[in-house]
Amino acid sequence: MYNSRLMTTGLCVALAATLSSCALPKQPLLTYWMEKGNKKAAPLETGKQYEVRKALATNIPFRPTQIKGYTFVFEAPKPPLVIASNLHRNSQMRVRTTAYTHDESDHIVYGVKNAIGTNLKFGNVRSAAADWSRFPVGTKFRIAGQPNVVYEVDDYGSALVGTGTIDLYKPSQSMMNDWGVRHVDIEVIQWGSYERSMRLMRDRTKWKHVRSMMEGIEARLRTAGLPDGKLPVTASL
């Protein structure tokens, strides 16, 4: 009898610790058992305190008085840890831009494909390449004087890493040469996702410039007070 009572008490204490630390926030549809009648009540409400005994099925032997002091609070899901825009406060800036095309020597191996595996764009929405630790994939911006054109960062290049230069895609070498190098004013209308950038690069770390971009992203997250590896499941805007 004494051993049974100890085992019951231990079970209740262990369950209380589990419920209060990790189990409940991961189960938003969890319902508790009412004290009498074995009938289920409504789902747990966030911010409200519950007694552990209401989370136990009544067919488990225990003495309510033994665990009356153990309570828990069901917490609401936390928002994503980071969205790229939180780390970039300036939406307008002056940047150095260059141009590239799909059939120049250092891009011909990739053809018309960009770093995310889709075709390079040139229209109302146009592709751009950048250091993803500075302009994460999905970043959209306009260039002053081109109000009807939106550029989207969907590519990167080894020569861009460690610089603030943005490479603009042009469909021909003549257009690429005509652009040359220009310092322009841009307005970022949507910051991209560091999480997506990291996910796309994880299998490409044999390349030094990819490793440098990933290290740059991790450094930015540390500066923002976020621990390494604590990226959200989704962080796109």
- The predicted-structure confidence for 171-222, as pLDDT tens digits, reads as follows 999 999 999 999 999 999 999 999 999 999 999 999 999 999 999 999 888 8
Residue-level pLDDT at 30:
43
Q: Where are the domains of the chain?
A: 2-73, 84-223
Q: What is the pTM of this model?
A: 0.59
CA distance linking residue 129 with residue 152, whole number of Å:
8
- Return the CATH class of domain 84-223: mainly beta
Q: Check: CB of residue 200 under 8 Å from CB of residue 115.
A: yes
Q: Which residues contact 221 (CB under 8 A, 6 or more apart)?
A: 82, 87, 194, 227, 228, 230, 231
